[in-house]
Structure 1
């Protein structure tokens, strides 16, 4: 019987409260697999934590106190680059889990399926990046990291439309803009393994932005609002209004985020 199964909301909450990185990534992948195989009951009554657990390291710093990374040409610069990307992917695990756990009851089982799949992808990305850091003689937590990435989740915890507008459709979409240049820089350094990792991440992130755009369209339709106008209103309200280019217009368009959405908000 379904009520004999663990609740998916309980599993998501437990994963969010895991601070140790390896344990968190294994938990995220296990939840996605168990949900896909029907081993978890659709129950999301468990309250999501205001913030996920974090490991003792890395030290989290405000954006203004983060050391400059340089261009990644030196060994130290390469480690700093990969550490920064690993931190983004680590926080992205929690962002996807929280999306499913916080808004899944309102949005339905297909929404939960989509964002648990995103969480599993982010966990896989983090595993690849942690392995990369180990190969360079370092590890996740060895350097300080950006403290501001969870702020968008905190600011949009009350509204699924706001969360979709800001997290997949602004923050993750920004990754579509900056990753191609990073790929070229890593390729120029002769790092084939690093190039393949970043190409895989870019392909997956296009799909993640597309998931966010798809569900934002559904929410807009439910609220009887035009998606572009609603998105612009929510970005102005919860992100500060203006976006910075340059933009990877083709990747954004592939993800269902045409230039007409964001052109009016470009600083």
Structure 2
């Protein structure tokens, strides 16, 4: 049993505690099986069968100054982290023929995402809510589905686009939770931000490496992939410090800010 097969086994596990155990049971030094062809089984990705999926607009949003509001926010974040576990596992098994360091990096991401989910889910239960009690949306996995046959697009549009949004959102969420007096939740967000810088950096590294191998401009190719695969528009403010630490260039961040400013300027004024 090689690393990629073990990752696929963990991916289809539905129950959260069992998935966490399956991820943590994968030995880091296991042979990768990089060149083995694997067929996708039914049940990808494994998720609790009772999850209720709605559009992003229908996910409940309430003030974090109420218990229900904090629970709704943390439930949404727990769902993002559960999806992130599955995304890391999916990259591990789906894309063959890469260096061992590629697979080692994404296994570490899966382990850290499992910790993030566990921390959020445990704290969520102290508020009287369990993962799956509230509706969720599926934007992260929908992008994974669109890019399933294109490694370059997956790297461009999941870790360095959708997951990078967390670099921008975490400081805002952290401040709100502190204002609401939830020190425990705020400390979990700080851990997530610390680790997500590394996760996005990993995506940036491999995105640029694949672009280089294919003789592509990483800057121009990103815009083409974002348009082709219908990536969501990124909204500011952007966490420049964290994005620079995660491997984005100043020119890339400047372009994000330029596009965001142009979009806001074009909006009708009331």
**TM-score, L = length of structure 1:** 0.90
**SS class of match (1:224):** coil
Secondary structure of 2:143's match?
helix
Partner residue of 1:177? 168
Question: What secondary structure does 1:146 align onto?
Answer: coil
2:245 match: 254
Aligned to 1:116: 107
Q: Residues 114-193 of structure 1: matches in 2 within 5 Å? A: 114-193=105-184
Q: CA deviation digits over 1:214-245, x for unaligned, max 9?
A: 00111011011121111121112113474221
TM-score after normalising by structure 2: 0.89
Q: Distance in 1 between matches of 2:218 and 2:87?
A: 22
**Unpaired runs of at least 5, structure 2:** 264-270
Match of 2:11 among 16, 34, 40: 16
SS of structure 2 residue aligned to 1:200: helix
Q: Give the distance between the partners of 1:83 and 1:160, measured in 2 at CA.
A: 30
For the 8 Å contact 2:88–2:107, the answer to whether it is kept is yes
Distance in 1 separating the partners of 2:220 and 2:106: 24
Residue 107 of structure 1 aligns with which residue?
98
Give the SS at the match of 2:104. Answer: helix
Task: Return 5+ residue gaps in structure 1 as ranges.
Answer: 1-5
Residue in 1 aligned with 2:59?
A: 66
Q: Aligned pair in 2 of structure 1 residues 64, 140: CA closer, same or farther (>3 Å)?
A: same
Q: Secondary structure at the match of 1:149?
A: helix
Report deviation, 1:58.
2.6
* Residues 11-49 of structure 1, C-alpha deviations (whole Å, 9 max, x = no match): 111111111111111111222xx1x2x234525422245
Is 1:83 the counterpart of 2:75? The answer is: yes
| Distance in structure 2 (CA, Å) of the matches to 1:30 and 1:123 | 12
* CA displacement 1:107-157 (0-9 Å, x = unmatched): 221110001110110001001011101111221111111133211100001
1:52 equivalent in structure 2: 45
**Residue aligning to 2:22:** 27
